[in-house]
């Protein structure tokens, strides 16, 4: 494996040998000189090499693979096969998938090459229609792509180039098994490009399976936090965090701040508290409709709101300059996520501030972060501060956050995971099997059998691609061993659900019940499956988010 030296002098785009029509588009976008990862990755990819690219967020990874892919497709013109794509880019979330597709369209606007994006929460038929004649470039999330593969509306056998973007996030969301299934459908003669901000052991193993004698480009240490970010920690009791956060926002310099929580319900609680304190704020996570997310991002981008409250996965794909502050309202239980979070500020050479609120039960997380980043973050102790008002947090609310912590050594992704929601986003209990009767509080009992990575992948399909919904509070059974959930926890990793709560139900064919559609009367537990056990009709409006480009 060859490693490039990142200290070489950065050439101009015009010196990289790119097709003139691409240079014309770059000039129109105002891009003259590539970032380090672009200057080192583009020549190797143009030459047909496999690539392992390691770069923290905001370094220009998208152009590092988009430009050489467009160049190769132009230099070797051929029609894509029916139902196929010459280049396939896999993305963990719909927001990032749309951002990548927008970048391909911008850089390739003079090429005539076709670009299609597919993910859950969209009607399936337009996707089938778009793929019927084949496309040059397909950007997709793993779950929806596998739905198409299983239904034989997508054929990957002729794909020439594969890109796996944000591989570490794929791992956190439990997508490794689906990715391996997708790999089995691809030609062994393909060119493979692998991008990740961090390189844990599992990701290294996957890269070894995918890549052949790859060029390795690393523009920053995998544990390195973003430059120009002034970091600090404030030790404070959990019940005083809301009061402290409101105090921080008295600083008028906090004009454009992202506040991170571990769970979706936690994000909503923080947003409500800041609104009460007079701070213009919006929350963005998987329970929000697509329209709500688009409005929130646009208001934040234009400075109409001061704070955006986000979960880790929802924040992937958000590329907004001039973020002044990042506040970790809750420390992440995965230390690499800290690097991702604070990388949202100090972009494009600007400076930024990252403030972390650390309760007593989060100090182990802080130690892990400091060990990973090889630094001691300056700390202030506000424990016992009588000027801060203590806000009572119920045990159930605390469990909602604690359940996002890893169990049995496992990793977690993001969010309150289980239970369905009605159109208002309110949580509904899930039922499973004969023992899944809800108790008097509307909470279903939990089963003792954990579900692992395979169910995490199914969680992506049912969440990211087709969020279940139930106004009656009685979700269908998933067969013996399907876990009955209490408000959102359990073992294994599951993708944060980004689907639409009003999706149309699948046809009932008498198989195991799965609720994927509009509300049914309370007590009706027969929610059928479509062909191959999955509904292909994700009728939601919950589509991709930010159209910003890397």
How confident is the model over 442-455, as pLDDT tens digits? 333 333 333 343 44
Q: How large a percentage of the chain has pLDDT more than 90?
A: 44
pLDDT value, residue 16:
92
What are the tens digits of pLDDT across the range 400-429?
A: 443 333 333 333 333 333 333 333 333 333
Rg from Cα positions in the chain: 23
Which of 53-62, 259-268, 365-374 is least confident?
53-62
Q: Which two tokens stand for residue 276?
A: 């009460």
The three-class DSSP label of residue 202 is helix
pLDDT value, residue 134:
96
The CATH code of domain 229-395 reads 3.40.50.300
pLDDT value, residue 59:
74
pLDDT value, residue 82:
94
pLDDT value, residue 220:
59
What residues does each domain of the chain span? 2-218, 229-395, 417-544
Q: Is the pLDDT of residue 477 over 50?
A: no
Site of tokens 């770069």: 55
pLDDT value, residue 527:
40
pLDDT value, residue 191:
97
pLDDT value, residue 131:
96
pTM above threshold 0.75: no
Site of tokens 């691409």: 22
User: What's the whole-number mean pLDDT along residues 152-164?
Assistant: 96
Q: How far apart are CA 230 and CA 220, in angstroms?
A: 18
Q: Is the pLDDT of residue 264 over 70?
A: yes
Q: Is the pLDDT of residue 439 over 80?
A: no
**Better-scored residue on pLDDT, 321 or 234:** 234
Q: Pick the closest to residue 194 from 74, 41, 313 (CA basis).
A: 41
What are the tens digits of pLDDT across the range 174-201?
A: 888 999 999 999 999 999 999 987 777 8
Q: Is the pLDDT of residue 124 over 80?
A: yes
Q: Is the pLDDT of residue 265 over 80?
A: yes
pLDDT value, residue 61:
87
Alpha helices, DSSP H, located in 354-452: 363-373, 395-402
What are the tens digits of pLDDT across the range 296-305?
A: 988 998 999 9
Q: Is the pLDDT of residue 120 over 50?
A: yes
pLDDT value, residue 116:
96
Strand ranges in 190-296 using DSSP code E only, listed in sequence order: 191-196, 215-218, 229-235, 257-260, 281-284
Mean pLDDT over all residues of the chain? 74
**Better-scored residue on pLDDT, 35 or 214:** 214
Compute CA distances 3 → 41, 49, 207, 510, whole Å: 11, 13, 15, 55
pLDDT value, residue 148:
96
Site of tokens 């609310």: 397
Q: How far apart are CA 276 and CA 191, in angstroms?
A: 53
Residues in the chain, overall count: 550
pLDDT value, residue 435:
36
pLDDT value, residue 419:
34
pLDDT value, residue 261:
94
- pLDDT band at residue 243, thresholds of 50, 70 and 90? very high
Residues in contact with 294: Cβ distance below 8 Å, sequence separation at least 6, in sequence order? 545
Site of tokens 């090499």: 49
Compute CA distances 503 → 31, 311, 325, 425, 528, whole Å: 41, 23, 37, 13, 14
User: What's the whole-number mean pLDDT along residues 492-510?
Assistant: 37
pLDDT value, residue 449:
37
**Better-scored residue on pLDDT, 428 or 216:** 216
User: What's the whole-number mean pLDDT along residues 490-504?
Assistant: 37
What are the tens digits of pLDDT across the range 15-69?
A: 999 999 999 999 988 888 898 889 999 999 999 999 999 876 667 889 999 999 9
CATH assignment of 2-218, among 3.40.50.720, 3.40.50.2300, 2.102.10.10, 3.40.50.300: 3.40.50.300
- pLDDT band at residue 368, thresholds of 50, 70 and 90? very high
* 542 close to 158: Cβ distance less than 8 angstroms: no
Q: Is the pLDDT of residue 88 over 80?
A: yes
């Amino acid at each position: 494996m060859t490693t490039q030296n990142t200290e070489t002098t950065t050439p101009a785009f015009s010196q990289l040998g790119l097709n003139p029509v691409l240079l014309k588009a770059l000039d129109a976008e105002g891009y003259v000189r590539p970032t380090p990862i672009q200057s080192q990755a583009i020549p190797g990819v143009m030459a047909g090499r496999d690539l392992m690219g390691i770069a923290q967020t905001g370094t220009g990874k998208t152009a590092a693979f988009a430009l050489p892919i467009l160049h190769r497709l132009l230099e070797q013109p051929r029609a894509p096969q029916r139902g196929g794509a010459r280049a396939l880019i896999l993305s963990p979330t719909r927001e990032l998938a749309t951002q990548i597709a927008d970048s391909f369209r911008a850089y390739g606007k003079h090429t005539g090459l076709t670009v299609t994006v597919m993910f859950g929460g969209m009607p399936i038929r337009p996707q089938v229609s778009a793929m019927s004649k084949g496309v040059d470039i397909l950007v997709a999330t793993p779950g929806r792509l596998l739905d198409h593969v299983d239904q034989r509306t997508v054929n990957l056998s002729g794909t020439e180039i594969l890109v796996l973007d944000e591989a570490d996030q794929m791992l956190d969301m439990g997508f490794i098994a689906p990715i391996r299934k997708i790999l089995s459908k691809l030609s062994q003669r393909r060119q493979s490009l692998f991008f990740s901000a961090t390189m844990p052991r599992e990701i290294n193993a996957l890269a070894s399976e995918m890549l052949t004698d790859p060029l390795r480009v690393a523009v920053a240490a995998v544990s390195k936090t973003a430059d120009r970010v002034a970091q600090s920690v404030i030790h404070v009791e959990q019940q005083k965090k809301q009061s402290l956060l409101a105090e921080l926002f008295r600083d008028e310099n906090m004009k454009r701040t992202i506040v991170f929580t571990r769970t979706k319900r936690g994000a909503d609680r923080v947003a409500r508290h800041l609104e009460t304190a007079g701070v213009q704020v919006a929350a963005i996570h998987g329970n929000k409709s697509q329209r709500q997310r688009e409005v929130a991002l646009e208001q934040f981008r234009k400075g109409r709101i001061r704070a955006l409250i986000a979960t880790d996965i929802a924040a992937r794909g958000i590329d907004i300059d001039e973020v002044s502050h990042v506040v970790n309202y809750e420390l992440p239980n995965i230390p690499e996520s800290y690097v991702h979070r604070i990388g949202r500020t100090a972009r494009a050479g600007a400076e930024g501030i990252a403030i972390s609120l650390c309760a007593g039960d989060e100090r182990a997380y802080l130690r892990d972060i400091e060990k990973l980043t090889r630094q001691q973050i300056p700390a202030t102790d506000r424990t016992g501060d009588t000027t801060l008002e203590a806000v009572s947090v119920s045990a159930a609310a605390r469990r909602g956050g604690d359940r996002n912590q890893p169990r049995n050594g496992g990793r977690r992704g993001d969010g309150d995971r289980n239970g369905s929601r009605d159109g208002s986003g309110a949580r509904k209990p899930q039922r499973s099997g004969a023992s899944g009767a809800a108790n008097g509080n509307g909470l279903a009992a939990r089963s003792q059998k954990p579900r692992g990575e395979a169910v995490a992948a199914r969680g992506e399909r049912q969440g990211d691609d087709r969020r279940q919904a139930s106004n009656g509070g009685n979700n269908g059974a998933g067969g013996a061993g399907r876990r009955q959930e209490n408000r959102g926890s359990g073992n294994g990793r599951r993708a944060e659900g980004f689907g639409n709560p009003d999706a149309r139900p699948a046809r009932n064919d008498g198989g195991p019940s799965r609720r994927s559609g509009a509300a049914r009367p309370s007590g009706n537990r027969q929610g059928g499956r479509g062909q191959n056990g999955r509904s292909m009709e994700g009728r939601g409006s919950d589509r991709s988010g930010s159209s910003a480009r890397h």
